[in-house]
Amino acid sequence: MSPRRPIVGTLALFSTLLALLLSALPVAAHQDLERAEPGFDAVLNVPPTVVRLWFAGELDSFESTLAVYEAHDRQIDLGDANVSSDDRRLLWVSLPGDLRPGQYTVRWSAVDDEDAHPVQGEYSFTIAGTPEQPGANPWSIPVIAGAFIAAIGAGTWVLLRRH
């Protein structure tokens, strides 16, 4: 047996183990999300008019999607999601101008233009303020209390005037 045989066998075994380990690692997709506006967990004082997502690779404009949902999982964007013709790494969607305070969820599916491999994700942003309850009037309790106190005062005045 030659002295090289154990070295060759060890190298072959090491190469096989290394190949198995590397094949188990996740493959980095070309369309990894690089940046978002509004950003992840952003708290905004002014409602945005558009959501923009930038990816590492050029996107397939027919297969990539982007949608924005309000707290009750109702889609609120204007339905015009598109890959920018100026920058094929940019996916955007318009938002209505009357967004109320609360939390919004952005859901996307980006398909790389080269290998057609889809990657999905989601994140949230918040518009600052307290969302109003439907039908609630923040002045109702003070107005009712004030009217009640005024009525008691008027009734007391009338009673005192009679005596």
What predicted TM-score, i.e. pTM, was given to this entire model? 0.62
pLDDT digits (tens, 9 = 90+) for 10-59: 545 444 444 444 444 444 444 689 999 999 999 999 999 999 999 999 99
Strands 33-37 and 102-111: unpaired
CATH number of 33-127: 2.60.40.1220
User: 39 with 54: CB under 8 angstroms?
Assistant: no
Taking the C-alpha atoms of residue 89 and residue 73, their distance in angstroms, rounded to an integer, is 27
Q: Which residues pair with 55 in a beta bridge?
A: 33
Residue type at position 74:
R
Question: Rounded distance, CA 127 to CA 42, Å?
Answer: 8
